[in-house]
Chain A
Amino acid sequence: MSTVVDVRDLVRDYPMGEERVAALRGVSFQVDAGDYVAIVGPSGCGKSTLLNLLGVIDRPTSGTVSINGERVERLSDARATEFRLMRIGFVFQRFYLMQALSARENVELPLAEAGLVGAARRARAMALLEYVGLAKRERHRPSQLSGGEQQRVAIARALANAPALLLADEPTGELDARTGREMIALFERLNADGTTIVVVTHDEDLARAAKRVIHMRDGSIVGDERAR
């Protein structure tokens, strides 16, 4: 099985006045293709920082990050953007859909950026909305969708360019319990269909659904267990 994520000695610290605060203190781990990893830990333990580094929207102070065999920690802005577009899918806690665009247009946004045009783009966006169960809501704006529906659109958007890795930051954090369970089921289905997922969460149910759980505390990995 190929390795999708290979993180070695990852350190990230931030200046805080005259001092530097360490958010990550030498983290190393690998994620194989098709895996479903939940990163858990108390607030401020460094899980979101780790997710940002995996998503190439932040740079480590030291250490290396390889995604699909490509070193990404020192990519130029243009290359990092291209990498995110084609290799990474992001799902945020607050969905972050473009309010001016319809559900379908939100999904089309990364497809358009990747150069897909016309009917092919529309068809791909519709297939993804179909996958997340929102084909009939394609013309609705985010404000006309429930939280769960918005998160589904965000997942469809994240999957637009068939990324090697799907990253989710507290994807059930803004959802009620029932919608949260639906989201967990959707993540399981995604993983079953071959998507490699790394999710940061406080949600125990979501963590339990993952195949592997990494425990973090104070910027370090303190536990790494496979589901039985």
Chain B
Amino acid sequence: MLFTLAAASLIRHRTRTLLAILGVAVSAAMLLDMVMLSSGLRESFRGLLQTQGFQLRVAPKGTLPFDTDATIRNADSLLALVRARPGVIAVSPVLGGQLHVPTATGAVTSSVLGIIPRVEGDYEVLAGRQPAAPDEMVANQRLLDALRLQLGDTLRGAAGYDAQLRSLSGERTLRIVGIARFIYMAADQKGAAVPIETLRRMQGADSDDKVSIAMIRLAAGVNVDSERVAIERLLPRVTVISIAEALNQVDQRLSYFRQLAVILGSVSLVVGFLLVTTLVTVSVNERVGEIAVMRAIGVHRRRIVLQIVMESGAMMLVAAPLGLLLGLVTARYLNSILARFPGVPAKLDFFLFQPSAAWTALGLLALSGVLAGVYPSWRSASLPIALTLRQEAVG
């Protein structure tokens, strides 16, 4: 019966209820997006770091992976020490550089990684295979498109370009044996990978034995943090970063994203709350006579509060799935915009949908719906019955 009364009250002013539901849905969508943004970037980054199962990353002392052009010299002997540790399954050194490919109209420049193909963790081969010989390479589709080349073609590439002499250095003929998607590269970034020895030779004699970073895969059950400390002690010239530490760094660098998300999320929650409170208050004010009569015939105050809370809760319940849907659509759209930022890995999601985010948003929304209904209903149910009836009779 209370449900009938609550439903009737909502249906009585269909347009008003519909507009309120749409308003709440928009605020719910924004709330969901902000909840997704506040935790999504971190979780997405964690997923990205964990993709290939490397738990530790070794970078030159005081730097973050690929944060600077600094490299680790004499890396092979140092990494051999790491490889010899019982808890280490694989060590994947990576040397970063540039690949300049002369074309009829100039040159196409791409990022290039020197890797050991059997342990690399930077790309997924989509077609073809891993390089198996020194003059073989994989490239991403963007580079192939820029060069108008395809799988099986060869190219003449150089690792260096002297702007004064306008000449290329470290030229080499490479055959494209695989098409790859690079995990940490931006969507619009051209990328290639060659065996690390090949890249070192192309970069010149002084680049022998150096790496930009190395990724370390540990055996199951090994304590990541203890191993990190042990390797840092073993190699004083490097910084060893675990995924947790990398995430902390991300947290620090992107804290403004979270702050923005919290502020905008709070604003949208408050807007939704005020919207429902206003609607319920208006609706209750129109029904003070009816409420006074219910009180006069013996309906308890808590039942009236319950009825009105049901009204606001029902609005929230209808608005929530709408908001969820709208939130997912807008998140996808916003993600596609943010993914175009320079340097953002293509696989990184700013708005990562997680069930916990949806539950959090829905929980906050439901709570605000209940709170939105409690005050006006309690206020109306507390009005003096006799006085209210007299005013209604006069009115």
Contact = CB atoms under 8 A, between A and B. Distances in A.
B373 interface: no
A35 interface: no
A113 B4 contact: no
A57 B294 CA distance: 11
Given A109-B1, A112-B1, A92 B389 contact: yes
Interface string B264-308: 000000000000000000000000011001111111110100000
Chain B contact surface mostly: helix
B385 interface: yes
Chain A contact surface mostly: helix
A82 interface: yes
Given A92-B293, A112-B1, A78 B393 contact: no
Given A57-B389, A58-B385, A100-B9, A84 B1 contact: no
A81 B385 CA distance: 11
B293 A81 contact: no
B298 A158 contact: no
A100 B5 contact: yes
B367 interface: no
Interface in B1-47: 1, 4-5, 7-9, 12
A98 B296 contact: no
A29 interface: no
Contact of B297 (A77, A90, A99): A90
A197 to B, nearest CB: 17
Contacts of B384: 58
A113 B303 contact: yes
B143 to A, nearest CB: 68
Contacts of B126: none
Contacts of B386: 49, 52, 57-58
A113 B8 contact: no
Interface in A108-125: 108-110, 112-114
A101 interface: yes
Q: Which of B9, B298, B393 has the most CB of A within 10 A?
A: B298
A99 B387 CA distance: 22
B358 to A, nearest CB: 34
A168 interface: no
A101 B297 contact: no
A117 to B, nearest CB: 11
A113 B300 contact: yes
A57 B383 CA distance: 11
A26 B110 CA distance: 100
Contacts of A52: 385-386
A167 to B, nearest CB: 10
Nearest to A78: B300
Contacts of A82: 298, 300
A86 interface: yes
Interface string A67-102: 000000000011001101110101011101011110
Nearest to B302: A78
A190 B369 CA distance: 46
Contact of A93 (B298, B299, B393): B393
**Which range holds the interface residue count of chain B?**
20 to 34
A93 B296 CA distance: 14
Nearest to B9: A100
B390 interface: yes
Interface in A34-85: 48-49, 52, 55, 57-58, 77-78, 81-82, 84-85
Q: Which of A88, A99, A100 has the most CB of B within 10 A?
A: A100
A113 B9 CA distance: 19
A82 B303 CA distance: 12
B297 A94 contact: no
A105 interface: yes
Contacts of A112: 1
A151 B354 CA distance: 57
Contacts of B293: 92, 96
A152 interface: no
Interface string B363-395: 000000000000000000000111101101100
Contacts of A109: 1, 294, 297, 299
Given A58-B386, A96-B289, A101 B299 contact: no
A85 B9 contact: no
A212 interface: no
Interface of B: 1, 4-5, 7-9, 12, 289-290, 293-301, 303, 384-387, 389-390, 392-393
Interface of A: 48-49, 52, 55, 57-58, 77-78, 81-82, 84-86, 88, 90, 92-94, 96, 98-101, 105, 108-110, 112-114, 157-158, 161
18 contacts: A49-B386, A57-B296, A57-B385, A58-B384, A84-B296, A85-B299, A86-B298, A100-B5, A100-B7, A101-B1, A101-B8, A109-B1, A110-B299, A112-B1, A113-B299, A113-B300, A113-B303, A157-B297
The 8 A-B pairs with the shortest beta carbon distances in the complex, nearest first, are A85-B298, A100-B8, A58-B386, A57-B385, A52-B386, A96-B293, A84-B298, A57-B386
Given A82-B300, A94-B392, 16 more contacts: A52-B386, A57-B295, A57-B296, A58-B384, A58-B385, A77-B301, A78-B300, A81-B299, A81-B301, A82-B298, A84-B296, A100-B12, A105-B1, A109-B1, A109-B294, A158-B297
